Amino acid sequence: MQKRVGTLSIFLGSKEEIAKVNQLLSEYSHIVCARLGMPYREKNISVIMLVIDGTTDDIGALTGKLGNIEGIQVKAILAKN
């Protein structure tokens, strides 16, 4: 199956969510090329941005699992080729 490169943006609101997100990111670390995380204290949220390289199945599974965590917002953008 062909791999795709893209970005993943994750918005979190509480520390409980962060632990769940980190667990999932560890499980899918084989598709994570780069990670940037930062708290945005003025808005009381945290933001994680990833560069990913994986099959659409892996990327879809990760975004789906992240999206099922209450309070998480996630958006993936994949390059065309």
pLDDT, tens digit, for every residue of 3-38?
Answer: 999 999 999 987 778 889 999 999 999 999 999 999
Task: Give the span between the Cα atoms of 10 and 18, in whole angstroms.
Answer: 10
Whole-prediction pTM: 0.89
> What residues contact 65, with CB distance under 8 A and at least 6 apart?
24
Domain span including residue 44:
3-78
Nearest to 76 by CA among 16, 44, 32, 23: 32
pLDDT score for 49: 97
Number of domains in the chain: 1
pLDDT score for 79: 94
Please answer whether residues 44 and 13 qualify as being in contact, where contact means their C-beta atoms are separated by less than 8 angstroms. Answer: yes
Interval 43-61 mean pLDDT: 95
Give me the CATH number covering residue 39. 3.30.70.1150
